[in-house]
Structure 1
C-alpha cells in the first residue's frame, strides 16, 4: 500500500494514535493549550512539520484549545501519510507539554430529506458560499458544517430502524459525529439535558434522539460501518 491509498477503519485503529479520533473521513483531535500564546506556539510547530512533509492540516485556534484535522479528500479518507503527520503533530504537542483532549472531539453534519439532490446541491452551495463536490455542497474554508442528502427510500426495508411517527414533518436534522468511545456518553448527556431516545437499534453506528419539542437528531460514530 502506498502513502496515498485510503486506509480501512481497522488499519487506522491499528496505527495506535491515542491522541486522534477518525471522524467523517478525517483524523481529528483537540489539544488543551490552556492559553492563546501556547496555542500559537503549537500552530507554528504544526505548520513547520506539515510543510516539511508536503502536507497540510486544518486548524481551529481558540483561547484555550486547538482543534486539528488531517485527511486526504482526494483519496476518500485517511491515508498512511495522514497517520504519519498526525503522529508527528502529537510528538510536537508533547514536546511543548500540551496534552490532547479527545473527549470533546465533535463534527457536525446537516442532513436534509429531499428527492432532488442535484438542484438542492447547487442552491445550498451558493447559500453557504461553497461549491458542489461529489454531489454535495462543500466549503473548503471549513466555516460551515458539511451537508448531505437523505433521499426517500425506494423500499420499506431501506429505511433502516423503524422509528415512531412524528406529529409534524421534519426535513432537516443534525448528525453529530463523535469518536466511538464518546457515543454513549454524548447520548446520555443529551438525555440528561431533557432529550428522549427514539431508537438505539443501529447503535453504535448511530442513535436517534429527540429534543423536548420532538425534533430529531442523530449521534453518530465510525463504529459498525
Structure 2
C-alpha cells in the first residue's frame, strides 16, 4: 500500500517547482506551454514512456498550445511519493524539450449546490450528468473532464441567497492575482474571514464564487 502525503509535503519536495497542488481530488497539476502541437506530442510521448516505466499513470490533456498533466494516486484519491517521483521526471523531460511551465493555467472548478437533503438530490445529479457518487457530498466525472459537484448541507432554507455557487481552486501563488483581476472586472469581496483558505467574491448582481486553495 502506497503511503499518502500531504499537499505541503508534495510542494516541499525537490524538483517539483513547476507543479501546483489543487483541491478537487487531491491532485498535483502542471501546465506546459509547448507553443505547438508537434512539441506537445513529443512531450506527451515522453510522459507516456515515464509513466509506463513507473507503472503510475497521470491524466494528460494535449492541446495545440500546451499540455496539462494531473497527478494523483488512485489507491486513495490523493498524493503519494510516487507522484513526487513522476512529477520530477516529467519536469526533467519538459526541460529537455525547452518547454516552460505556466502555473497561472492551473485550476479546478467545482459547482456547489446548497441542499437541505443532499442524499435525495445527489442521485439525480449523478444520473443527469453521467457522474459517479463520491462519498456523501460529491459527484465526480469518472473521466475527470468536467467540474466536480458538491452538495453543501444546509440546516435551514436561506432566502435571498443563491442556491448554487462556483468554487475555483487555485495554486497558492496564483489566487491573489485572480482576486485582483476579478475586482478590476467589477467584482467585490463578500467575505474574506476564511482567508487564506478561501475568499468569497460576487459579481455586480450578487452571484457568488469562492476562490480557494488546498493546504
TM-score of the superposition, structure 2-length normalised? 0.92
Is there any run of 5+ residues in structure 1 with no aligned partner, and where?
Answer: 155-165
CA–CA separation in structure 1 for the residues paired with 2:116 and 2:80? 33
Write out aligned runs for 1:202-217 (5 A). 202-217=194-209
Deviations 1:133-161 (A, max 9, x none): 2232121212210111211158xxxxxxx
Q: Which residue of 1 aligns with 2:124?
A: 123
Q: Which residue of 1 aligns with 2:174?
A: 182
Q: Which residue of 2 aligns with 1:143?
A: 145
TM-score of the superposition, structure 1-length normalised? 0.88
Q: Secondary structure at the match of 1:185?
A: helix
Q: Which residue of 2 aligns with 1:13?
A: 11
Is there any run of 5+ residues in structure 2 with no aligned partner, and where?
Answer: none
Q: Which residue of 1 aligns with 2:22?
A: 23
Deviations 1:167-192 (A, max 9, x none): 83311111001001111111111010
Check conservation: 2:116, 2:155, Cα contact below 8 A.
no
Q: Which residue of 2 aligns with 1:79?
A: 80
Q: Which residue of 2 aligns with 1:103?
A: 104
CA–CA separation in structure 1 for the residues paired with 2:208 and 2:13? 35
Check conservation: 1:6, 1:76, Cα contact below 8 A.
no
Check conservation: 1:117, 1:149, Cα contact below 8 A.
yes
Q: Which residue of 1 aligns with 2:92?
A: 91
Q: Which residue of 2 aligns with 1:163?
A: none
> 7-16 or 139-148, which moves further after superposition?
7-16
Check conservation: 2:30, 2:103, Cα contact below 8 A.
yes
Check conservation: 1:208, 1:217, Cα contact below 8 A.
yes
CA–CA separation in structure 2 for the residues paired with 1:131 and 1:10? 28
**How far 1:86 sits from its partner (Å)?**
0.9
Q: Which residue of 1 aligns with 2:65?
A: 64
Runs of 4+ off more than 4 Å? none
CA–CA separation in structure 2 for the residues paired with 1:53 and 1:33? 24
